[in-house]
Amino acid sequence: MEEGNKAVTVKTERLEEQLKEWGVDLEKLKSRANKAKADVKTEIDREVSTLRAKLNEAQKKLEELKTAGGAASMEMKKGVENAWTELKKAFDSARAKFK
């Protein structure tokens, strides 16, 4: 069972690193919004708000997975994967939209 715990630890560490990277991307987007014209700023602010909510949800799910450790249910792991997929799509979309 220890190998299962090790796999969860390694995966959560990778997920934490990705969350940090997305946090940096989010701050860059906010900075860009502050420099943008009013109409674009409103759109970027709305996107940042949506991304922040998704980022917070992914962080919450990751913490739940870490707390559960090896005893994490498949459903909990699936919840993390789903939150992750949604967040990745949202960031990819925002990057493409505001290049």
Q: Where are the domains of the chain?
A: 2-97
The one-letter amino acid code at 54 reads K
pLDDT band at 1 (very low <50, low <70, confident <90, very high): very low
The one-letter amino acid code at 22 reads W
| Residue 4 pLDDT exceeds 60 | no
Radius of gyration of the chain (CA): 16
Q: What are phi and psi of 18, to 5 degrees?
A: -65, -40
Over the stretch 48-90, which tens digit does the pLDDT of each residue have? 899 899 888 888 888 887 777 666 667 777 777 888 888 888 8
Q: Which residues contact 25 (CB under 8 A, 6 or more apart)?
A: 91, 95
- Cα dihedral sign for 85, 5, 59, 64? positive
Distance CA 6, CA 14 (A): 13
Over the stretch 7-59, which tens digit does the pLDDT of each residue have? 555 577 888 888 888 888 888 888 887 787 887 888 888 888 998 998 888 88
9 and 75 in contact (C-beta within 8 Å)?
A: no
Segment 87-94 shows an average pLDDT of 86
